[in-house]
Amino acid sequence: MVAEFMVDRLSGWGLQVTARADPLSALETLQSERDLIDLVITDQTMPRLTGLELAARIRASYPDLPVVLYSGFGDGLTDEAIRDAGVLAFLKKPVEAGALFAVLQRCLAAQGESKESRSTQG
């Protein structure tokens, strides 16, 4: 239900969205479609991996890919754990649309700058 809401919201803003309910499936999609993915939004509570565990795996393989953690259960999360996992932004549910838009805009701008830097170096 949350994934459907996010897909509808982000698609409504003109973004192309791929949703996966399972974090291991998300990693497989990321591996096969890396050039098409500019940002990952993950929930903290998922089957088999937490959002922080998924973020850490993404960071290990794709250090320049921004990850946003979106969760209603942030009480046990420390700033240090979020940072160490490679999460660029943490949003608590429910998030106001304007705040979500601002975070995505900032993350996508940072991703664009990173891609531009890599293309001028290589």
Question: C-alpha distances in angstroms, 93 versus 5, 10, 120?
Answer: 12, 16, 38
The count of structural domains within the chain is: 1
> For residue 55, what is the domain's CATH number?
3.40.50.2300
Is residue 65 a part of any domain in this protein? yes
Q: Given this model, what pLDDT does residue 119 score?
A: 43
pLDDT tens, residue by residue, 80-106: 999 999 999 999 888 889 999 999 999
Task: Give the 3-state secondary structure of residue 71.
Answer: strand
- In whole angstroms, give the CA distance from residue 74 to residue 20: 21
Which residue segment(s) compose the domain that 97 sits in? Answer: 47-116
- Give domain status of residue 15, yes or no: no
- CA 99, 28, 11, 109 torsion-angle sign: positive
The model scores a pTM over 0.95: no
* 22 found inside a domain: no
Phi, psi of 42 (to 5 degrees): -130, 150
Give a yes or no: residue 28 inside a domain: no
- For 14-65, the pLDDT digits (tens) are 999 999 989 999 999 999 999 899 999 999 988 899 999 999 999 999 999 9
Assess if residue 87 is contained within a domain.
yes
